[in-house]
Amino acid sequence: RVAVGGSVASHVGLVAASLPPGAEVLAPTGEFSSVVSPFAVRGDLRTRYVPLDGLADAVRPGTAVVAFSAVQSSDGRVAALDAIRAAAAAHGARTLLDASQSAGWLPLDAGAYDYTVTGGFKFLMCPRGTSFLTVTEEAQETLPVLFPGMAAAEDAWGSVYGPVERLAAEARRFDEPVSFLSYHGAERSLELLAEVGVDAVHTHATALAARFREGLASLGHEAVPGTSAIVAVPGLGGREPDLAAAGVVVSARAGNLRAAFHLYNTDADVDRALDVLAG
């Protein structure tokens, strides 16, 4: 069920390549580029964008794929996962979930979606150059094999020379040739995350995010509402250099100041960021 690679865009490209001309792809407005660009650049697909909170209601007969992130990169909003899955199922649409901003802190069931794509270098704490694609058994029958090397063969070491004669029977046939050192690091990171447990990380990270939101409110700043581990403050992206100079690493995304909390963060980290913002 799981294929490995080096980027989310490559995995999404497989899904995009599987669609017939004229197929409709539905996505949220402002979705991360890697999730939507592989569909858009084909030129013969119909791409439709709607606000995130209206995504489930926008699925219609003829929608082929609903492509969206569980948690938005720009502002940390969490999608209505159950409603979107139900709407897609009701209209016969496949679901492609990007879990890059959620896997590792938000409990997710990858098996509930036709495809999931995940960059490993965020909350999964893997080195760059690691990414994961999950594909249901039924959806595997529709994906093309675009870059088969020996890793995609049923008998990898028997396929070193000449064309691959028999592809792997499972999702490994979609594997990209990977950066070995990155995956050695990923093995250790994922072991640690599994030991701690995603539920524990969720409790810890969302509590820190709530502390940050409360502190921001006391300073007169209104964060994007919600219970996400990612906190975004509209219009405050210009303060990112001040925080960086003080040793506080956050991001400026779409005009927002974005802070993402994880298992290695503490209350002291939250308070330090608030102190800097308070001047």
- Taken in order of first residue, the domains within the chain and their CATH numbers are 2-194 (3.40.640.10), 198-278 (3.90.1150.10)
Q: What pLDDT sits at residue 49?
A: 98
Q: What pLDDT sits at residue 2?
A: 96
Q: What pLDDT sits at residue 56?
A: 98
User: 115-124 contacts: CB < 8 A, separation 24 or more?
Assistant: 115/11, 115/15, 115/139, 117/8, 117/11, 117/12, 117/35, 118/8, 119/7, 119/8, 120/186, 120/189, 122/260, 123/201, 123/229, 123/260, 123/262, 124/186, 124/189, 124/190, 124/193
Mapping DSSP to helix (H, G, I), strand (E, B) and coil, where does residue 77 land? coil
% of residues, the chain, pLDDT over 70: 100
Q: CA end-to-end span of the chain, whole Å? A: 50
- pLDDT of residue 77 exceeding 90, the answer is yes
- Identify the DSSP state of 197: -
How sure is the predictor about 175, in pLDDT bands with cuts at 50, 70 and 90?
Answer: very high
Closest CA to 104 of 278, 263, 274: 263
Average pLDDT over residues 244-253: 96
Average pLDDT over residues 170-194: 95
pTM of the complete model: 0.95
- Average pLDDT along the chain: 96
Q: How many residues does the chain have?
A: 279
How sure is the predictor about 65, in pLDDT bands with cuts at 50, 70 and 90?
Answer: very high
- pLDDT of residue 177 exceeding 90, the answer is no
Q: What pLDDT sits at residue 37?
A: 98
Residue 191, Cβ neighbours under 10 Å: how many? 10
The H or E element spanning position 92 is: none
Q: What pLDDT sits at residue 225?
A: 96
Alpha-carbon span 260 to 248, nearest angstrom: 11
